[in-house]
Amino acid sequence: MLALKNPKPKKGSTKNKKRVGRGTSSGMGKTCGRGHKGQKSRSGGTKGIRFEGGQTPLYRRLPKRGFSNSLFSLKYTAVNVKDLNAYDSEVNKDTLKVCGTLKILGDGEIKKALTVTADKFSKSAKEKIEKAGGKCICILQPENKMLRSKKKKETGNRDARLA
């Protein structure tokens, strides 16, 4: 009798898995349904999805477009103003348990005065926090060494510098 404690699939709805390479009498022995020799009989024997029979493939015929700035881009963790209502007087990365960079966005309303410390604020979020009597503290990102401008050499009287 069929019950919730002993479910079974409908009769004839499932097939046994085909086991290959188990002798000739199994019907799937010797070549295991792969035929004789050639690329398709070998392991990994498929042409790549981009292969076009030897003609120059489309991805090589078309020029490269655009550029990637991923090395210098920052991925921000976004938190909305409405989510800050759950916290007490001070909100920062530690209280929000955020790794990396944090950006406060202006969706929703804030009901109490908070001191919020983050890497970046949207204009609307900053307005809403300050309107509620709170304070926004923006953490400055460390200066990027690759973009740092070279210091200009001192100019002026040479003798005065040497003395």
Q: How much is the pLDDT for 73?
A: 82
Q: What is the mean pLDDT of residues 104-126?
A: 93
Q: How much is the pLDDT for 114?
A: 93
Nearest of 114, 36, 59 to residue 81 by alpha carbon: 114
Nearest of 114, 117, 151 to residue 137 by alpha carbon: 117
**Geometric angle at alpha carbon 119, from 113 and 124, rounded to 5°:** 55
Nearest of 140, 133, 138, 139 to residue 89 by alpha carbon: 133
d(CA 99, CA 75): 11
DSSP letters spanning 73-93: ---EEEEEGGGGGGS-SEE-H
Q: How much is the pLDDT for 100?
A: 85
- Which residue ranges make up each domain of the chain? 76-138
Q: What is the mean pLDDT of residues 33-43?
A: 93
Tell me the percentage of the chain whose pLDDT exceeds 70: 85
| C-beta separation of 81 from 105 below 8 A | yes
**pLDDT higher than threshold 90 for residue 117:** yes
Confidence category of residue 6, pLDDT binned at 50, 70, 90: confident
**pLDDT higher than threshold 70 for residue 161:** no
**pLDDT higher than threshold 70 for residue 133:** yes
Beta-sheet strands, E only, within the chain: 76-80, 90-91, 101-105, 115-118, 120-121, 135-138
Sort strands 90-91 and 115-118 into parallel, antiparallel or unpaired. parallel
pLDDT for 44-102, tens place per residue? 988 989 999 999 999 999 999 999 888 888 888 999 999 999 998 899 989 988 888 89
Confidence category of residue 136, pLDDT binned at 50, 70, 90: very high
Q: What is the CATH number of domain 76-138?
A: 3.100.10.10
Does pTM top 0.85 for this prediction?
A: no
Q: Where are the alpha helices (DSSP H) in the chain?
A: 58-61, 93-96, 123-131, 158-162
